Amino acid sequence: MRRYLTRKILIYTLTFFLAVTIDWLIPRFMPGDPIRNMLARVSVASNASAIQMMYDYYARLFGLDLPLWQQYLNFWKALFQGNLGISTYLFPTPVIEVLKRAVPYDAFLLIPSILLAWYAGNNFGAIAARSKRLDNFILPLSYVLTATPYMWLGILLAWFFGIVLGLFPIAGAYSFSLRPTWSWTFVLDLLHHWFLPFASLFIIDFGGWAIGMRNMIIYELEAEYSRYLTALGAPQRLIRRYAFNNAILPQITGLALRLGVIVAGALVTEVVFSYPGIGYLLLAAIQNQDYFLIQGCFLFIILGVLIANFVIDLVYIVVDPRTRRGMVGESA
């Protein structure tokens, strides 16, 4: 058990270092640089030498005049002190402050949509597996849903429910006329704005899980332990329950594998609905070449995906005795 966990933590730490390094590297491959971008936006001076002076000043301030390897080391040093730098796009707000404002919206959008889609998809798939009529209807629908790009469905929902029917707002996390407070009006408004982005994430993931579960249940019902129970006259209820318990295991692994895809889907959905989460922020950061904000956003995504995967590893130990027993052996 201990060995298994140490090994997992080691792998996750290594992944973290690699991912963060790539995250640091990629913005720096972009043409142009954040300081010039920032100065162009404020356009304080027209004099070329004045701009050059300001450029040098800010470059020194952000540490961008140093050689790359030095910048890299500084980045890690700062990171361990919990310092993600200062955003050039939202200058002079520290990146960590910007993220703190965005993360609750992500959690609010992602956690319910991922978990509910997983739960509902699995249950629907299991029901579809034993009802021919439901199966004929759900399966093709699920294939269409799971193949739909997130942003396309988002646009479609926004157009239909937002513009044609006018039922839901299509942008923002709450109305511009309101200020965030803990009042019923605000909470209802928040939910009203939350619904469409949530629905577009939920619907697509739901399709994928339903297909997976349906196929797994059919496979498990054909498995030999199911046949043995049938031969011993066990009621369908017991056989189905066993099949479900076995079929859910690959779906848990699937959740770990798909998390990355879902998070990427959430990014584009947030852009479609101008939802002020990390995805929306990331787009703005990239457009403004804000190295520090890009790094910060990716850092959060990396951490989120890794932590979620680790949690799933732990859950797996609980639900599948075979992993637990396997841990004492060589393969642990």
Name the site residues for other proteins (rule: CB under 8 A).
223-225, 227-235, 237-238, 242, 245-246, 249, 319-322, 325
- Secondary structure of residue 94 in the 3-state scheme: strand
| CB of residue 317 to other proteins, shortest distance in Å | 13
Min CB(135)–other proteins separation in Å: 16
33 vs 320 by CB, closer to other proteins: 320
DSSP character at residue 112: H
Contact 3, 332 (CB under 8 A): yes
Closest approach of other proteins to the CB of residue 269, in Å: 36
Element (H, E) at 139: helix 132-147
CA distance 327 to 332: 4
The strand pairing partners of 86, in sequence order, are: 94
Q: Residue 220 in contact with residue 247, Cβ under 8 Å?
A: yes
* Residue number with CB closer to other proteins (64 or 223): 223
The nearer residue to other proteins, 92 or 321, going by C-beta atoms, is 321
SS3 303: helix
Could you tell me the smallest distance in angstroms from the CB atom of residue 282 to other proteins? 40
- Least distance from other proteins to the Cβ atom of residue 331, Å: 13
Q: State the nearest-atom distance from the C-beta of 120 to other proteins, in Å.
A: 23
Rank residues 60 and 325 by Cβ distance to other proteins and give the closer one: 325
Q: How crowded is the C-beta side of 75, counted as CA atoms within 13 Å?
A: 22
Of 94 and 326, the one with the shorter C-beta distance to other proteins is 326
Helices (H) and strands (E) in the chain, counts: 13, 0
Between 50 and 234, CB nearer to other proteins:
234
Query: Which residue has 């577009």 as its token pair?
Result: 200
The whole-angstrom separation of Cα 62 and Cα 150 is 36
